[in-house]
Amino acid sequence: MGLSDRLNIGRQEGWQAERLTHWLLEWELLQEPQEKIASAEVNASEGELPEGCVASPDADVEPGQIRLMMPQGDDDGLLFLAIVGEGGDEGAVFCVPFSPLSEPATPDELLSGRDTPVVRVFCLWNTRSVALRVLCESWIVDRLTADELKRLKRALLACEQTGSVPDDLRREAGPPLIHPEDPRRLYRRIERNRIHNCLIREHTSRAADNVILYTIESEQQKLPKAAEDHDTYEI
């Protein structure tokens, strides 16, 4: 019996079991000892790039942009964010991080529609209000279309209200999270801390775990706050 069978996510459909199996395989690969990875890397001093080879950050922040944050340390990892709109505080912007994995883990993670693994999954539960001065330390790598941004906002609103994406998007999200020993709980804790640490700067306006509210001007609706883990989900 595999781990996905032992987790027993309830009255699961075939696509849910398959998605969970793929996610678990990818998660297990991510847990490989770091010394194996380090042994394959070139000497850091030999791999450094001349300053002129690094592009300047993009200062103009707009809704729909997909941005890559400038790493601040060796262990930061890559952080990609989708810009949704103005945040709750003056000088802040509402952002949705992307998962480092290529499969949605839970009902509040959603496929973006892109094939590139690092920008393939929206983490709707891990939304942030980020100071503009922090976001200016990033590069624009892609842009959402108007329809993609509208879809993202709709999914965010549904997650705030129900803990999962709208019914018509359920097959593009992850399976329910129920079992107390499910590794997806550990994944969420790690990702929450990773995003928090990546966005911490001396000029950050507020802690990342604070409540986030954002009003969409076109729809006059509230977008989700930085959500907590849900112990159960309706199927």
Domains of the chain: 11-26+57-223 (2.30.30.110)
Structure tokens at 129: 């209000």
Query: Cα(30)–Cα(102) distance, rounded to whole angstroms?
Result: 12
3-state helix, strand, coil in the chain (%, to 5): 35, 15, 45
Residue 231's CB is within 10 A of a number of other CB atoms, namely 10
> Model's pTM, two decimal places?
0.76
Q: Given this model, what pLDDT does residue 155 score?
A: 98
DSSP state of 219: T
Structure tokens at 27: 């998660």
- Residues in the chain, how many? 235
Contact predicate 210/228, CB 8 Å: no
Dump the DSSP string for 162-200.
Answer: HSS--GGGGGGBPPP---TT-HHHHHHHHHHHHHHHHH-
Under DSSP, is residue 27 helix (H, G, I), strand (E, B) or coil? Answer: helix
Across the chain, which has 235 residues, the per-10-residue mean pLDDT values are 53 84 93 57 48 76 94 76 86 94 97 95 96 92 97 96 96 93 95 89 40 37 44 42
Residue among 79, 216, 86, 233 at smallest CA distance from 156: 216
Q: Given this model, what pLDDT does residue 31 score?
A: 84
